[in-house]
Amino acid sequence: MKRTMILPACLAIGLFFVLPSALCAQETDTGEAVNIGSNRELFVDQYLIGSLDGTAQKLWPPRDEGPVLFLDRPWEGEFCLYMTVIHVDSKYRLYYRGGPTPGKGDGTDDRTCYAESDDGIHWTRPNLGFFSWEGNDQTNILFDTDPQLSHNFAPFYDTNPNCPPEQRYKALAGLAGLVAFASPDGIHWKKLQEEPVAKHPNFACDSQNVAFWSESEGKYLCYLRGWDSYRTVIRIESDDFIHWSPEGGVFMTYGDTPREQIYVNQTAPYFRAPQIYIATAARFMEGRRIVSPEAAKACSVVPGYDGDCSDAVLMTTRGGSVYDRTFMEGLIRPGFDPGDWISRTNYPVRGIVQTGPDEMSMYAGRFYAQPRARIHRYSWTLDRIASVSAPYAGGEFRTRPLIFSGEDLFINANTSAPGTIQIEILDKNGQPIPGYELDKSPVLTGNWIEKKVRWAEDKSAGSLAGQEVILRFVMKDADLYALRFGAEE
Protein backbone atom coordinates (compact mmCIF):
# COMPACT_ATOMS: atom_id res chain seq x y z
CA MET A 1 0.00 0.00 0.00
CA LYS A 2 1.48 3.31 -1.09
CA ARG A 3 1.89 5.98 1.58
CA THR A 4 3.54 9.35 1.11
CA MET A 5 6.04 10.00 3.88
CA ILE A 6 6.08 13.20 5.89
CA LEU A 7 9.09 15.24 4.84
CA PRO A 8 11.99 15.23 7.31
CA ALA A 9 12.17 19.02 7.37
CA CYS A 10 9.67 19.02 10.24
CA LEU A 11 10.41 21.38 13.08
CA ALA A 12 10.61 19.58 16.44
CA ILE A 13 8.89 21.54 19.18
CA GLY A 14 8.56 20.24 22.73
CA LEU A 15 7.67 16.57 22.83
CA PHE A 16 6.14 16.32 19.37
CA PHE A 17 6.56 17.33 15.75
CA VAL A 18 4.73 20.34 14.39
CA LEU A 19 4.88 20.40 10.61
CA PRO A 20 4.96 23.73 8.76
CA SER A 21 1.92 23.81 6.50
CA ALA A 22 4.04 24.23 3.40
CA LEU A 23 5.84 20.98 4.11
CA CYS A 24 3.25 18.60 5.47
CA ALA A 25 0.79 17.94 2.64
CA GLN A 26 0.37 14.24 1.92
CA GLU A 27 -1.61 12.52 -0.80
CA THR A 28 -4.70 10.74 0.46
CA ASP A 29 -4.18 7.01 0.83
CA THR A 30 -6.41 5.51 -1.86
CA GLY A 31 -5.61 1.90 -0.97
CA GLU A 32 -7.98 -0.69 0.38
CA ALA A 33 -10.54 0.66 2.83
CA VAL A 34 -10.33 -0.34 6.48
CA ASN A 35 -13.48 -1.53 8.19
CA ILE A 36 -13.61 0.13 11.60
CA GLY A 37 -17.19 -0.91 12.33
CA SER A 38 -18.22 0.90 15.51
CA ASN A 39 -14.75 0.68 17.08
CA ARG A 40 -13.31 3.65 18.88
CA GLU A 41 -10.15 4.70 17.03
CA LEU A 42 -7.36 6.71 18.66
CA PHE A 43 -4.78 8.63 16.65
CA VAL A 44 -1.86 6.86 18.29
CA ASP A 45 -0.64 5.28 15.04
CA GLN A 46 -0.89 5.56 11.26
CA TYR A 47 -3.94 3.32 10.88
CA LEU A 48 -6.44 6.00 9.82
CA ILE A 49 -4.03 8.60 8.49
CA GLY A 50 -4.74 9.42 4.87
CA SER A 51 -3.34 12.94 4.42
CA LEU A 52 -2.12 15.77 6.62
CA ASP A 53 -2.09 19.32 5.23
CA GLY A 54 -1.10 21.95 7.76
CA THR A 55 -1.82 19.47 10.55
CA ALA A 56 0.38 16.99 12.43
CA GLN A 57 0.18 14.08 14.81
CA LYS A 58 1.04 15.07 18.36
CA LEU A 59 1.94 13.06 21.45
CA TRP A 60 0.42 14.15 24.76
CA PRO A 61 2.59 12.95 27.66
CA PRO A 62 0.57 12.26 30.83
CA ARG A 63 0.63 14.59 33.80
CA ASP A 64 2.72 13.52 36.81
CA GLU A 65 0.28 13.35 39.72
CA GLY A 66 2.98 12.46 42.23
CA PRO A 67 3.75 9.38 44.32
CA VAL A 68 1.01 6.93 45.25
CA LEU A 69 3.09 4.23 46.95
CA PHE A 70 6.45 4.48 48.70
CA LEU A 71 8.26 1.16 48.45
CA ASP A 72 9.70 1.39 51.93
CA ARG A 73 8.78 -1.92 53.54
CA PRO A 74 11.85 -4.03 54.42
CA TRP A 75 10.73 -6.79 52.04
CA GLU A 76 10.28 -4.29 49.17
CA GLY A 77 13.20 -1.91 48.92
CA GLU A 78 15.37 -0.39 46.23
CA PHE A 79 14.87 -3.08 43.59
CA CYS A 80 11.09 -3.21 43.20
CA LEU A 81 10.35 -3.64 39.51
CA TYR A 82 8.19 -5.41 36.88
CA MET A 83 4.85 -4.04 37.99
CA THR A 84 1.27 -4.55 36.78
CA VAL A 85 -1.98 -2.73 37.54
CA ILE A 86 -5.35 -4.40 36.86
CA HIS A 87 -8.76 -2.75 37.20
CA VAL A 88 -11.74 -5.09 37.39
CA ASP A 89 -15.15 -3.91 38.55
CA SER A 90 -14.51 -1.62 41.53
CA LYS A 91 -11.10 -2.93 42.54
CA TYR A 92 -7.63 -1.87 41.40
CA ARG A 93 -4.88 -4.42 41.97
CA LEU A 94 -1.15 -3.74 41.85
CA TYR A 95 1.47 -6.49 41.59
CA TYR A 96 5.20 -5.83 41.84
CA ARG A 97 8.51 -7.45 42.62
CA GLY A 98 9.99 -6.80 46.03
CA GLY A 99 13.75 -7.03 46.24
CA PRO A 100 15.65 -5.31 49.05
CA THR A 101 19.09 -6.36 47.84
CA PRO A 102 20.57 -6.24 44.35
CA GLY A 103 20.24 -9.59 42.62
CA LYS A 104 21.74 -8.52 39.30
CA GLY A 105 18.97 -10.44 37.58
CA ASP A 106 19.58 -13.80 39.22
CA GLY A 107 16.30 -13.79 41.16
CA THR A 108 17.82 -14.87 44.47
CA ASP A 109 16.07 -12.34 46.70
CA ASP A 110 12.73 -11.63 45.04
CA ARG A 111 9.12 -11.94 46.15
CA THR A 112 5.79 -10.90 44.66
CA CYS A 113 4.02 -8.11 46.54
CA TYR A 114 0.46 -6.85 46.27
CA ALA A 115 -1.41 -3.58 46.89
CA GLU A 116 -4.96 -2.53 46.16
CA SER A 117 -7.13 0.53 45.75
CA ASP A 118 -10.76 1.54 45.39
CA ASP A 119 -10.02 4.46 43.07
CA GLY A 120 -6.58 3.89 41.54
CA ILE A 121 -5.29 6.92 43.44
CA HIS A 122 -5.11 5.91 47.10
CA TRP A 123 -3.34 2.57 47.64
CA THR A 124 -3.03 0.28 50.64
CA ARG A 125 -1.08 -2.87 51.39
CA PRO A 126 -3.46 -5.53 52.73
CA ASN A 127 -2.07 -7.80 55.41
CA LEU A 128 -2.41 -11.03 53.51
CA GLY A 129 -0.81 -13.22 56.15
CA PHE A 130 0.53 -15.58 53.49
CA PHE A 131 4.25 -15.11 54.14
CA SER A 132 6.22 -13.61 56.99
CA TRP A 133 9.32 -11.44 56.88
CA GLU A 134 11.79 -11.71 59.75
CA GLY A 135 9.04 -12.71 62.16
CA ASN A 136 6.41 -10.30 60.84
CA ASP A 137 3.52 -12.35 59.47
CA GLN A 138 1.38 -9.31 58.56
CA THR A 139 2.79 -8.57 55.14
CA ASN A 140 1.51 -7.92 51.64
CA ILE A 141 3.76 -10.64 50.19
CA LEU A 142 1.61 -12.58 47.74
CA PHE A 143 4.04 -15.48 47.38
CA ASP A 144 7.64 -16.11 48.28
CA THR A 145 8.15 -19.80 47.63
CA ASP A 146 10.29 -19.48 44.49
CA PRO A 147 12.31 -16.29 43.90
CA GLN A 148 12.90 -17.36 40.30
CA LEU A 149 9.16 -16.99 39.67
CA SER A 150 8.68 -13.91 41.85
CA HIS A 151 11.36 -12.12 39.85
CA ASN A 152 8.97 -11.24 37.02
CA PHE A 153 5.45 -12.39 37.92
CA ALA A 154 3.21 -10.77 35.26
CA PRO A 155 -0.56 -11.23 35.75
CA PHE A 156 -3.57 -10.15 33.68
CA TYR A 157 -7.34 -10.43 33.80
CA ASP A 158 -8.52 -12.96 31.22
CA THR A 159 -11.39 -11.60 29.08
CA ASN A 160 -11.70 -14.80 27.04
CA PRO A 161 -15.46 -15.52 27.13
CA ASN A 162 -14.69 -19.25 27.45
CA CYS A 163 -12.33 -18.84 30.40
CA PRO A 164 -13.37 -20.95 33.43
CA PRO A 165 -14.10 -18.81 36.51
CA GLU A 166 -11.31 -20.44 38.52
CA GLN A 167 -8.79 -19.19 35.93
CA ARG A 168 -10.13 -15.67 35.41
CA TYR A 169 -6.76 -14.20 36.42
CA LYS A 170 -3.68 -15.61 34.70
CA ALA A 171 0.04 -14.94 34.82
CA LEU A 172 3.38 -15.92 33.33
CA ALA A 173 6.59 -15.90 35.33
CA GLY A 174 10.06 -17.40 35.40
CA LEU A 175 13.69 -16.96 34.47
CA ALA A 176 14.46 -20.37 32.97
CA GLY A 177 11.18 -20.40 31.01
CA LEU A 178 7.67 -19.07 31.42
CA VAL A 179 5.50 -20.91 33.96
CA ALA A 180 1.71 -20.47 33.75
CA PHE A 181 -0.40 -19.51 36.78
CA ALA A 182 -4.13 -19.03 37.30
CA SER A 183 -6.34 -17.57 40.03
CA PRO A 184 -10.08 -17.08 40.58
CA ASP A 185 -9.64 -13.78 42.44
CA GLY A 186 -6.18 -12.38 41.71
CA ILE A 187 -5.04 -13.30 45.23
CA HIS A 188 -4.86 -17.08 45.46
CA TRP A 189 -2.65 -18.46 42.69
CA LYS A 190 -1.76 -21.95 41.46
CA LYS A 191 0.52 -23.23 38.75
CA LEU A 192 -1.32 -24.71 35.79
CA GLN A 193 1.56 -27.15 35.42
CA GLU A 194 5.03 -27.52 36.88
CA GLU A 195 7.10 -27.30 33.72
CA PRO A 196 7.38 -24.05 31.71
CA VAL A 197 4.83 -23.53 28.96
CA ALA A 198 7.27 -21.49 26.85
CA LYS A 199 11.00 -22.00 26.70
CA HIS A 200 13.48 -21.36 23.88
CA PRO A 201 17.05 -20.06 23.47
CA ASN A 202 15.60 -16.94 21.80
CA PHE A 203 13.75 -16.01 24.97
CA ALA A 204 15.59 -13.81 27.47
CA CYS A 205 13.04 -14.25 30.25
CA ASP A 206 14.75 -12.03 32.83
CA SER A 207 12.23 -9.25 32.28
CA GLN A 208 8.48 -8.67 32.45
CA ASN A 209 6.92 -10.96 29.84
CA VAL A 210 3.33 -9.87 29.29
CA ALA A 211 0.35 -11.86 28.04
CA PHE A 212 -3.34 -11.19 27.39
CA TRP A 213 -6.39 -12.51 25.59
CA SER A 214 -6.81 -10.72 22.25
CA GLU A 215 -10.45 -10.05 21.48
CA SER A 216 -9.64 -9.04 17.91
CA GLU A 217 -7.41 -12.05 17.15
CA GLY A 218 -9.27 -14.62 19.27
CA LYS A 219 -6.17 -16.04 20.98
CA TYR A 220 -3.72 -15.49 23.80
CA LEU A 221 -0.69 -13.38 22.97
CA CYS A 222 2.56 -12.95 24.84
CA TYR A 223 5.13 -10.23 24.19
CA LEU A 224 8.38 -11.26 25.81
CA ARG A 225 11.97 -10.20 25.88
CA GLY A 226 14.43 -11.27 23.21
CA TRP A 227 17.82 -10.24 21.92
CA ASP A 228 18.97 -9.45 18.37
CA SER A 229 21.96 -7.27 19.27
CA TYR A 230 19.36 -5.01 20.93
CA ARG A 231 17.02 -5.67 23.81
CA THR A 232 13.88 -6.33 21.84
CA VAL A 233 10.46 -7.98 21.88
CA ILE A 234 9.28 -11.40 20.67
CA ARG A 235 5.65 -12.36 20.08
CA ILE A 236 4.19 -15.83 20.65
CA GLU A 237 0.56 -16.95 20.61
CA SER A 238 -1.64 -19.69 22.06
CA ASP A 239 -5.20 -20.99 21.90
CA ASP A 240 -5.18 -22.44 25.42
CA PHE A 241 -2.45 -20.57 27.36
CA ILE A 242 -0.46 -23.79 27.64
CA HIS A 243 0.78 -24.49 24.12
CA TRP A 244 2.59 -21.55 22.54
CA SER A 245 3.84 -21.07 18.99
CA PRO A 246 5.77 -20.59 16.84
CA GLU A 247 8.87 -22.16 18.29
CA GLY A 248 11.31 -19.39 19.06
CA GLY A 249 8.64 -16.75 18.49
CA VAL A 250 8.45 -13.89 16.00
CA PHE A 251 10.81 -10.97 16.51
CA MET A 252 8.94 -7.69 16.47
CA THR A 253 10.12 -4.97 14.10
CA TYR A 254 9.80 -1.21 14.41
CA GLY A 255 9.30 0.14 10.91
CA ASP A 256 11.66 2.72 9.48
CA THR A 257 12.79 4.06 12.85
CA PRO A 258 16.12 4.05 14.71
CA ARG A 259 16.65 0.94 16.81
CA GLU A 260 16.59 1.43 20.56
CA GLN A 261 16.89 -0.80 23.61
CA ILE A 262 13.35 -1.78 24.66
CA TYR A 263 13.65 -3.27 28.11
CA VAL A 264 10.04 -3.96 29.14
CA ASN A 265 7.34 -3.56 26.51
CA GLN A 266 4.15 -3.47 28.66
CA THR A 267 1.94 -4.29 25.66
CA ALA A 268 -1.78 -4.60 26.43
CA PRO A 269 -5.12 -4.00 24.69
CA TYR A 270 -6.33 -0.45 25.24
CA PHE A 271 -9.30 -0.77 27.56
CA ARG A 272 -11.63 1.39 25.42
CA ALA A 273 -10.40 0.14 22.05
CA PRO A 274 -9.07 -3.42 22.50
CA GLN A 275 -8.16 -3.79 18.83
CA ILE A 276 -5.26 -1.39 19.55
CA TYR A 277 -2.46 -2.84 21.68
CA ILE A 278 -0.76 0.00 23.55
CA ALA A 279 2.83 -0.51 24.67
CA THR A 280 4.07 1.93 27.31
CA ALA A 281 7.60 0.63 27.02
CA ALA A 282 10.81 1.31 28.92
CA ARG A 283 13.59 2.71 26.74
CA PHE A 284 16.97 1.79 28.22
CA MET A 285 19.98 3.98 27.40
CA GLU A 286 22.81 1.64 28.30
CA GLY A 287 26.04 3.40 29.18
CA ARG A 288 24.52 6.87 28.95
CA ARG A 289 25.72 8.45 32.18
CA ILE A 290 23.95 11.67 33.13
CA VAL A 291 24.58 11.79 36.87
CA SER A 292 28.11 12.15 38.23
CA PRO A 293 29.39 9.54 40.68
CA GLU A 294 29.32 12.21 43.39
CA ALA A 295 25.66 13.06 42.70
CA ALA A 296 24.75 9.38 42.60
CA LYS A 297 26.42 8.83 45.96
CA ALA A 298 24.48 11.77 47.40
CA CYS A 299 21.27 10.03 46.24
CA SER A 300 22.42 6.78 47.90
CA VAL A 301 22.28 4.94 44.57
CA VAL A 302 23.41 1.34 44.87
CA PRO A 303 26.86 1.16 43.23
CA GLY A 304 26.74 0.02 39.62
CA TYR A 305 23.36 1.56 38.79
CA ASP A 306 24.43 5.12 38.00
CA GLY A 307 25.95 4.60 34.56
CA ASP A 308 22.72 4.34 32.52
CA CYS A 309 19.44 6.23 32.22
CA SER A 310 15.97 5.41 30.95
CA ASP A 311 12.55 6.80 30.15
CA ALA A 312 9.21 5.60 28.77
CA VAL A 313 8.01 5.61 25.16
CA LEU A 314 4.77 4.86 23.33
CA MET A 315 4.50 2.04 20.80
CA THR A 316 1.40 0.41 19.33
CA THR A 317 0.54 -2.70 17.36
CA ARG A 318 -2.66 -4.21 15.99
CA GLY A 319 -1.30 -7.73 15.56
CA GLY A 320 1.45 -9.09 13.39
CA SER A 321 5.13 -8.42 13.86
CA VAL A 322 5.39 -4.62 13.62
CA TYR A 323 5.27 -1.98 16.33
CA ASP A 324 4.17 1.43 15.10
CA ARG A 325 6.52 4.08 16.44
CA THR A 326 4.84 7.23 15.19
CA PHE A 327 6.24 8.99 18.25
CA MET A 328 9.90 8.53 19.08
CA GLU A 329 9.80 11.23 21.74
CA GLY A 330 9.65 10.39 25.43
CA LEU A 331 6.24 9.58 26.91
CA ILE A 332 7.56 10.01 30.46
CA ARG A 333 10.75 12.04 30.81
CA PRO A 334 13.02 11.95 33.84
CA GLY A 335 12.46 14.82 36.25
CA PHE A 336 14.67 17.47 37.82
CA ASP A 337 16.02 15.22 40.56
CA PRO A 338 19.40 13.58 39.74
CA GLY A 339 18.00 10.34 41.17
CA ASP A 340 15.54 10.25 38.27
CA TRP A 341 18.41 9.79 35.80
CA ILE A 342 19.51 6.44 37.23
CA SER A 343 19.47 3.08 35.50
CA ARG A 344 15.98 1.52 35.27
CA THR A 345 14.07 4.37 36.82
CA ASN A 346 10.92 5.63 35.04
CA TYR A 347 10.00 2.06 34.08
CA PRO A 348 6.25 1.97 33.40
CA VAL A 349 3.82 -0.20 35.30
CA ARG A 350 1.85 -2.31 32.85
CA GLY A 351 -1.69 -1.09 32.38
CA ILE A 352 -3.75 2.04 31.64
CA VAL A 353 -6.85 2.28 33.84
CA GLN A 354 -9.75 4.67 34.21
CA THR A 355 -9.52 6.68 37.44
CA GLY A 356 -12.37 9.17 37.00
CA PRO A 357 -15.32 9.95 34.73
CA ASP A 358 -13.04 11.78 32.29
CA GLU A 359 -9.63 10.60 33.53
CA MET A 360 -7.34 7.63 33.02
CA SER A 361 -3.97 6.83 34.55
CA MET A 362 -0.76 4.94 34.09
CA TYR A 363 1.98 4.42 36.67
CA ALA A 364 5.76 4.22 36.72
CA GLY A 365 8.49 3.30 39.17
CA ARG A 366 10.78 6.12 40.19
CA PHE A 367 14.16 6.30 41.94
CA TYR A 368 15.22 2.72 41.24
CA ALA A 369 18.20 1.36 43.20
CA GLN A 370 17.67 4.05 45.83
CA PRO A 371 16.17 3.99 49.35
CA ARG A 372 13.38 6.35 48.23
CA ALA A 373 12.00 4.04 45.51
CA ARG A 374 8.33 4.75 44.82
CA ILE A 375 5.51 4.51 42.29
CA HIS A 376 4.05 7.63 40.68
CA ARG A 377 0.68 8.03 39.00
CA TYR A 378 0.38 9.83 35.67
CA SER A 379 -2.96 10.98 34.26
CA TRP A 380 -4.54 11.79 30.92
CA THR A 381 -7.96 13.03 29.96
CA LEU A 382 -9.85 9.99 28.68
CA ASP A 383 -8.51 8.73 25.31
CA ARG A 384 -6.17 11.71 24.90
CA ILE A 385 -2.83 9.99 24.40
CA ALA A 386 -2.20 11.48 20.96
CA SER A 387 -3.97 13.68 18.44
CA VAL A 388 -4.11 15.12 14.98
CA SER A 389 -3.63 18.82 15.65
CA ALA A 390 -3.98 22.05 13.70
CA PRO A 391 -2.25 25.35 14.50
CA TYR A 392 -3.92 28.76 14.61
CA ALA A 393 -3.24 29.22 10.90
CA GLY A 394 -5.42 26.18 10.22
CA GLY A 395 -5.08 22.96 8.28
CA GLU A 396 -6.90 19.81 7.37
CA PHE A 397 -6.73 16.08 7.84
CA ARG A 398 -8.25 13.32 5.74
CA THR A 399 -8.65 9.73 6.83
CA ARG A 400 -7.84 6.88 4.54
CA PRO A 401 -10.93 5.21 3.00
CA LEU A 402 -12.95 3.52 5.74
CA ILE A 403 -16.15 1.59 6.26
CA PHE A 404 -18.18 2.09 9.42
CA SER A 405 -21.34 0.83 11.06
CA GLY A 406 -23.77 2.73 13.23
CA GLU A 407 -25.87 5.87 13.08
CA ASP A 408 -23.74 8.76 14.33
CA LEU A 409 -20.17 10.02 14.32
CA PHE A 410 -18.67 10.91 17.71
CA ILE A 411 -15.38 12.75 18.15
CA ASN A 412 -13.06 13.38 21.12
CA ALA A 413 -11.64 16.83 20.42
CA ASN A 414 -11.04 20.31 21.72
CA THR A 415 -10.35 23.78 20.36
CA SER A 416 -9.21 27.13 21.63
CA ALA A 417 -11.74 29.94 21.96
CA PRO A 418 -11.23 31.02 18.32
CA GLY A 419 -10.53 27.47 17.21
CA THR A 420 -12.89 25.47 14.99
CA ILE A 421 -13.52 22.01 13.55
CA GLN A 422 -15.66 21.20 10.52
CA ILE A 423 -16.18 17.75 9.04
CA GLU A 424 -16.93 16.82 5.46
CA ILE A 425 -17.61 13.29 4.26
CA LEU A 426 -16.14 12.32 0.89
CA ASP A 427 -16.68 9.28 -1.29
CA LYS A 428 -13.85 6.85 -1.90
CA ASN A 429 -12.62 9.00 -4.79
CA GLY A 430 -12.35 12.07 -2.60
CA GLN A 431 -15.49 13.86 -3.83
CA PRO A 432 -17.92 15.47 -1.37
CA ILE A 433 -21.08 13.41 -0.76
CA PRO A 434 -24.29 15.45 -1.16
CA GLY A 435 -25.67 16.47 2.21
CA TYR A 436 -22.28 16.09 3.89
CA GLU A 437 -20.39 18.93 2.19
CA LEU A 438 -18.28 21.26 4.27
CA ASP A 439 -20.88 24.04 4.16
CA LYS A 440 -23.41 21.60 5.64
CA SER A 441 -21.15 20.87 8.64
CA PRO A 442 -21.60 22.80 11.88
CA VAL A 443 -18.67 24.94 12.96
CA LEU A 444 -17.62 23.23 16.19
CA THR A 445 -15.87 25.08 19.01
CA GLY A 446 -15.47 23.53 22.43
CA ASN A 447 -14.03 20.65 24.44
CA TRP A 448 -15.66 17.21 24.37
CA ILE A 449 -14.83 13.65 25.35
CA GLU A 450 -17.57 12.51 23.00
CA LYS A 451 -19.29 14.99 20.70
CA LYS A 452 -22.06 13.77 18.40
CA VAL A 453 -21.70 15.28 14.95
CA ARG A 454 -24.65 15.93 12.65
CA TRP A 455 -24.89 17.90 9.47
CA ALA A 456 -27.52 20.40 8.23
CA GLU A 457 -31.13 19.53 9.03
CA ASP A 458 -29.95 17.17 11.80
CA LYS A 459 -28.58 14.71 9.24
CA SER A 460 -26.71 11.75 10.77
CA ALA A 461 -23.97 9.69 9.12
CA GLY A 462 -26.08 6.53 9.29
CA SER A 463 -27.14 6.54 5.62
CA LEU A 464 -23.47 6.02 4.66
CA ALA A 465 -22.88 3.00 6.91
CA GLY A 466 -21.31 0.12 4.98
CA GLN A 467 -19.97 2.36 2.21
CA GLU A 468 -16.38 3.42 1.59
CA VAL A 469 -15.98 7.00 2.77
CA ILE A 470 -13.24 9.45 3.68
CA LEU A 471 -13.58 11.90 6.56
CA ARG A 472 -12.16 15.36 5.97
CA PHE A 473 -11.50 17.48 9.06
CA VAL A 474 -10.90 21.19 8.48
CA MET A 475 -9.42 22.55 11.70
CA LYS A 476 -8.03 25.70 13.30
CA ASP A 477 -6.19 25.67 16.64
CA ALA A 478 -7.77 22.32 17.44
CA ASP A 479 -6.89 18.78 18.50
CA LEU A 480 -8.66 15.59 17.41
CA TYR A 481 -7.89 12.61 19.68
CA ALA A 482 -10.33 9.86 18.76
CA LEU A 483 -13.48 9.05 16.81
CA ARG A 484 -16.07 6.35 16.58
CA PHE A 485 -19.39 5.62 14.91
CA GLY A 486 -22.40 4.10 16.64
CA ALA A 487 -24.95 4.99 19.27
CA GLU A 488 -24.58 7.15 22.36
CA GLU A 489 -23.02 5.30 25.30
List Cβ neighbours of 32 (8 Å cut-off, separation of 6 or more). Answer: 1, 401
R_g of the chain, CA atoms, integer Å: 23
- Preceding omega of 246 cis (within 30 degrees of 0): yes
56 and 67 in a single domain? The answer is no
Q: Are residues 299 and 216 in the same domain?
A: yes
Residue 69 β-bridge partners: 375
Do 45 and 166 lie in a common domain?
A: no
Taking the C-alpha atoms of residue 484 and residue 40, their distance in angstroms, rounded to an integer, is: 4
Is 200 inside any structural domain?
yes
Indicate if 254 and 334 belong to the same structural domain.
Answer: yes
397-425 tens-digit pLDDT = 999 999 999 999 999 999 999 999 999 99
Question: For 151-175, how does the pLDDT look when each residue is reduced to its tens digit (9 = 90+)?
Answer: 999 999 999 999 999 999 999 999 9
Domain boundary among 341, 366, 381: 381
> Looking at the structure, do residues 180 and 207 belong to the same domain, yes or no?
yes
**414: in domain:** yes
pLDDT 10s digits, 88-132 = 999 999 999 998 776 544 567 899 999 999 999 999 999 999 999
Number of domains in the chain: 2
Model confidence over 239-284: pLDDT tens digits? 999 999 999 999 999 999 999 999 999 999 999 999 999 999 999 9
Please tell me whether residues 172 and 208 are part of one structural domain. Answer: yes
How many C-beta neighbours within 10 Å does residue 238 have? Answer: 18
What residues contact residue 210 under an 8 Å CB cut-off, 6+ apart? Answer: 84, 154, 156, 172, 222, 223, 224, 265, 266, 267, 268, 350
What is the tens place of the pLDDT at every residue in 169-179?
999 999 999 99
Q: Is the pLDDT of residue 348 over 80?
A: yes
Same domain? 91 vs 55: no
- pTM across the whole model: 0.92
- Quick one: which of 260, 388, 383, 234 has its CA closest to 328? 260
